[in-house]
Structure 1
Amino acid sequence: MSKQSDLSPRIPQELLNKIVDDLHDDSKALGCCALTSRLLLERSQTHIFSSIIISSSRDAACHRSRMDANPRLWGYVRRLMFLTFFHMHGGGNGTDVSHILRKATSLRTLHVGNSIAHASWYTIPEDTRIALFNAFRSPSLTDLHIFYLSSLPASIFGLKMHLNHFSLRGLTFCDDDSFDLGSADLSEMSVHTLEISSNDSIDLLLSIIAHPNSFSSRIKKLILHNLGNTTSLAIAVIKSATYSLETIQLLQYPSHEGNMDLPGWAEYDFNVMPYLRRLELHFMIEVSSRETFHQSVTSVVHKIADYFTANPSMLQIKQINVRLVPWWLHTKSSRSLGWHHVLDIVCMISDWSMLDLILAARTTSPESSVAVELGMYKGYEGLEYDGLGSAAMGQEEIHVVKHAWEEKIHAQMPLTSRGGILITDVIPDE
């Protein structure tokens, strides 16, 4: 009797599908399922081919060949990541990528570029540029992430796109002969969450943001990486989105000097924003040694307290989220610090009491909350987990860390805790 007939009379197909779905992030197990039975094959393939990462022309050619041999697989692709090869020239490279973009008609998430191999839009083969713009306009696309790409045509902001998440990091923009900003209608683009960081010229982007029909005037959430010229962009976007913005999130990275200063835009009067309900301050903190980690955490907690003191309008925001994200470096000394060391160091900081006094004294309502979270850093651009901050740790270990974190933070912030507004959590997938 075949494996298929063994399975068929005993287990309903719905249950088999549920079993495969539970293995969605285990590629080896999915591969075994696909080889085990025809009853498991299609469901396994929907997960195996849901995400494609291409970092070379060879990757592009292999994926094209494999999926052209079974065209049904194209319909399973939901996420495409094109990483490090746009700076390479070659007709085959462009042809394969443009072919993949045309065939992946159910695409929901598209990543273009990364922070290691900076590239120019005009080094991308022409057929790929055309295919990318067509993919940007795809009705199924909800998340678009463009990283470290120079000379991106400003006409992208005139495309008809309806995005849940639009990430623009390390980009520069250029004028497009076919696009006149003065007469352009930018109302076709809608974005719920805008994520930005900038390391170069921002004049053209500022012009886009200032446009009367700019998508920025309708965003609900703004994510700011506190890098480069992002501070200059931040005020412009915040002003543009005054009557739509509900959440502001800051991602703060340590500078080379270890400085964790908050940006100048945090001095903005948030009382003028009628729909702003949530402020998120997320800090990436390098774990290199016990001493430097202690200094960094002390600086972070002190700076947060300073900003709430200097800008009372921050305290009027109903939901305040502070997240500390330990980021293990690849050094021998950092590897000696486990989670229990990190928790002890974080929670021995004396400045917690100062922050507790400030937060406990603010005017509250039934909707008010203060979340103090511990983030578990996910590795470079979501491709792999990094160091002891791994979110791949078992659920039991996460539960232990979460319980210890809750006890320690509530002990350090007794006033806010007794007020019933303090929430603690461990976020395993930063």
Structure 2
Amino acid sequence: MKINHHYSELQDSYLFANIAQKVKVYQEAHPDQHMYRMGIGDVSLPLAPSVIAALHQGVDDQAHQETFHGYLPEVGYQPLREAIQNEYAAQGIDLDVNDIFVSSGASDELGDILHLFDRDAVVMIMEPAYPAYVDANVMDGRKIIHYDGGVLPKPDPDLHPDLIYICSPNNPTGSVMTREVLKEWVDFANATDAVIIFDAAYKAFIEEDLPKSIFEIEGAKTCAIEICSFSKTAGFTGTRLGYTIVPHELVREDMVLHDMWVRNRTTRTNGVSYIIQRGAMAIFTEQGKKEWQANIAVYKQNAKYLMAALDEVGITYVGGKNAPYIWLDCPNGMTGWEFFDYLLNEVQIIGTPGEGFGACGEHNFRLSCFGDPEDTKEAGRRLVALLKK
């Protein structure tokens, strides 16, 4: 019997396991201490009331013959696809509704989409990056270019990847690509026959005049796939829903990737629950938008608390304004892990060492803005008191 030996090439998933173990040991020794959790990128506020009402309606629909739904189209519930299409149209982006595929979440799609590409394809991952980009490709045995181009990396004409991952706003740095930089990547991909996998999971946090979709860029439909999530937009981390856009204009080696993806989805999935998709419909209503935008405003205020603290002590950082993450330079030449231990032991703040997002993050640290507002405010106060000593 032969198995996939590429799994043996994976680096140990030590990051969050080590964090959990360090926190566990500390809490056992200090059971009365309150922990200020700024590490995990998970939302803390409940789903919007409109979404909850729509989920209940979805359940009620299943109780009556005239509104019951069995299997839905594997590519997604048509009213939801149309709602997504209309949202893009409001931003000036013309999408074919058939190019929109409802998924069980961006994390799932980021791995599943790789079925469209040969295992000999060369992948460029701009680091620091979401670790799953690397692991999903290692499992398939692909060659990976680990590319550190800075906070806003630009194409290197000497590199020739087949697949290019772009996350904007970026996890972990919180930086957002400008239209000019994104256009350089689109032109590069079209000129080299590469395909961009554009992760837009955090687009709802953008407040400045910056691109929320790669399809704002001319030429993107012939080189890009966009993967989006309702997790950070509307709190669906535990509910699991997202969508993927594969334009029918995207063709490589005489193969239409849209048609390939239709076949993939209709073969490999039975679609997403009607109840969950029914709940997501509320995200696009006027009241629903007000409610989830109010939640995002809370997370953005959390970012302001932390940015004000870092400004006061003179620590350099990026992110926070257009994203729910702050990527900071560790003080006094510390590594990310050294700074983690320092914060944990001195002020009980839990963040994420930059090493977990690639070797280039060794002297960086990520703070998440998804925590409790009062805890975040207190964490900012503690940071100032500690780093001013």
TM-score, L = length of structure 2: 0.27
More relative contact order, 1 or 2 (CA 8 Å, 6+ apart) = 2
In terms of fraction of residues, the more strand-rich structure is: 1
Please say which structure displays the higher CA radius of gyration. Answer: 1
